[in-house]
Structure 1
Amino acid sequence: MHSPDDFSDDAGGQPPRHILTPSTLNRLVRDLLEDALPLVWIEGELSNVARPSSGHLYFTLKDSGAQVRCAMFKPKSTWLRFKPADGMHVLARARVGLYEPRGEFQLVVEHLEPAGEGALQREFERLKAQLDAEGLFAQERKRALPRFARRIGVITSPTGAAIRDVLSVLARRWPLVEVDVLPVPVQGREAPPAIVSMLRKASASGRYDVLLLTRGGGSLEDLWAFNDEQVARAIHASKVPVVSAVGHEIDFSISDFVADLRAPTPSAAAELLVPDILAQRRHLDQWRQRITAIQERRLHANVQRIDHLLARLQAQRPQARLARDRERLMQLRRRLLAARTAQLTQKAVRLDRLQARLLAQHPRQRLVMMRQQLEQHALHMRRIIEHKLERERLTLQQTARALHAVSPLATLERGYAILFDADGKVLRSAQNLAVDTALRARLADGEIPLRVAKK
């Protein structure tokens, strides 16, 4: 590295000890710039934006008093999430350098973003980190939502699409809930103080079981009212649970982190706030059936227990015991008599059997016995046939009575009639009958033509 004195004239007007070339001078200037300003953030307006076929991006960054040429080389130029255009206000992170072929001062851009969005995003991250450090996002402080909210306060714009979606879902899922629309602006400078004021009033009123803070989607600037610090602290200070549903599913705001529950969309928030009435009805029907079955089982068990106790009580009465003893005595007496009778009968039967055996040995007696047996068999056969015929006759009568009971003619004999239309079809309803329609009435003994006079 050369010192400045190496390139200066001496007092006597002698030529310098070293003579520089333009390339050397450019390298010296480049080294000085890179050492003094290694990396800077710069904000300004784009102009002369150009993107040649090489894929690099060239532009000028200016303000009201100066401008500087900039270059953003590939592949970083292809990673941009927006399309740079003349007049756009941007924020760039760049290295200060020198374009040596022309000896021109320039910036080599490493990162480029829209100035407003980048500033808002940084402010969002700063406030998020601050409130998180204070414990406003702590999971243990978040409260559970009431299972059956009776009254809900919806803090939102009364003319936006979000409130229409919320009211539609609430009316469909749980018509019993009362909903108050608490109107506030949802974007602009007047939105944060209005939201804070409404949160405080709704919380202090003691009227609501839960509050819903919501709005539809939009850009980061549109949703910025819900990233306000005072709004976040008002949500944290609310005495009732707060649900935040800001923007679309991919949008996150500070209010989402502070609230007791974050919903991805306004419609999703409405579904989280109330149960489904159809599911609750099915659940209640199931419980009603279970309770009815339990009551019937208990009633049946109690009736059986009472009957059992009543039987035991009856069994302990003196009259019942005397009756049992008397019945037992009678049984024993009958058994004794039966035993004596059986013994005598057994002897008589044995005697008769022996006598019969003796008589059976006589040929004439055997012929008589065989004739008697033949007559008995014939009589038995005749009785079997008569009994079978009688059973068949009774079955036939029962079948005839059953057929007669379900016969339409039997119904007609009891004073009823059957109506037929003009096509011969049985008329089952009086609806859709025009005046002057021709009908037929079938009675037990014939038919009668009819006509509808009036309805």
Structure 2
Amino acid sequence: MNGGTERTKRTAEPSTAENPWPVRTVARKIADWIHRLGAVWVEGQITQISARPGTQTSFLTLRDPAADVSMTVTCAARLVRDCDPPLRDGARVVVHAKPTFFLNRGTLSLRANEIRPVGIGELLARIERLRRLLAAEGLFAQERKRKLPFLPRGVGLITGRASAAEHDVLVNAQARWPAVAFRVVNTAVQGAAAVPQIVRALSTLDADPEIDVIVIARGGGSVEDLLPFSDETLCRAVAAAGTPVVSAIGHEPDSPLLDHVADLRCSTPTDAGKRVVPDVREETARVHQLRDRARRALHGWVDTQCRLLEQLRSRPSLAEPLEPIERRAADVQTQLERARRAILAAVGNEQAALAAARARLNALGPSATLARGYAVVQYHDEQGNLAVLRSVSQVAEGTPLRVRVADGAIRAIAGAQEE
């Protein structure tokens, strides 16, 4: 009694280096915590079924379709046998199970008491709900889709190993452009492992600076086979990729959600091989055509310029460049002569007018009168200015006078007045 009480007390206390818990105690505590969870509904994909004839228990491996996580499921064998349609690897199911921790092995599994296969109708309904959600978030919008490079340095290809899709993409792309460089990453393209492997391959190729476009290719298949390409995780990873992504899934009628998220949707892998690279023959023919057009355009331009030069050379100003100068020089000389004659005529007329004015001035001026023997007598007035003597009463005897005659002037003194 005292020993049991002591053990209970030890396990109730926190574990320390001095007071560690036994393995059984840790396992029991983990089992207690897990058992308190109760029964849960779990959805996943079956990756392995072990149902041996004659046994009462079957074992399943249930995998998360979008992550690398799986759990073991145990159930009565009849649950597996009674499923309609029969369970197979890759099937999507919903399981009602209770988490169970086995103390002896230290393992965790789910003990199922009900298994419900997810039918095609339910899968299509879920895909449609996801389609509306992604469309509302703008992941299908045309404006976010990027244009593929004209000639990529490298093309990443995600597809199944040795698949017809891989062959179709490589053969058609290399037939169009033999120098195209591919980096092929083989992954699962159906089943529970497909989405995690494709997402990892997409991340690897997106981080490669030599890869300019990524192709995700798969051949046709049933709705269940193509389910990974309508997975939300994969669609969001493609939308977040920095490298343009091409979707080439199935045949023309197949349309998983990846087709709407990708930057380019190709109807088949063969079509993808033709769309990611140009046709070397077409481009060579286009180069030859453009070169011929350039040659014709250049020849036409040269011919036009030659004709223009001939026209310029044939113009009189270039054919006889001195003739206009000589003609203008003659015109200038003529104008100079006309100007000289006009100036001489104007000067002659003005000289004649000046002579006539001089003659009239001489006739009317005092000089002519003085030349006939007259004289002009001047005296100094009260202000000291010279004034013309007009009367003998203006001066007294002895007043200095200035007598101007035709050829000069003399000084005189006024004498006595005469009657």
TM-score (norm 1): 0.44
Greater gyration radius: 2
Query: Relative CO higher for 1 or 2, CA cutoff 8 Å, sep ≥ 6?
Result: 2
Which of the pair is proportionally richer in helix? 1
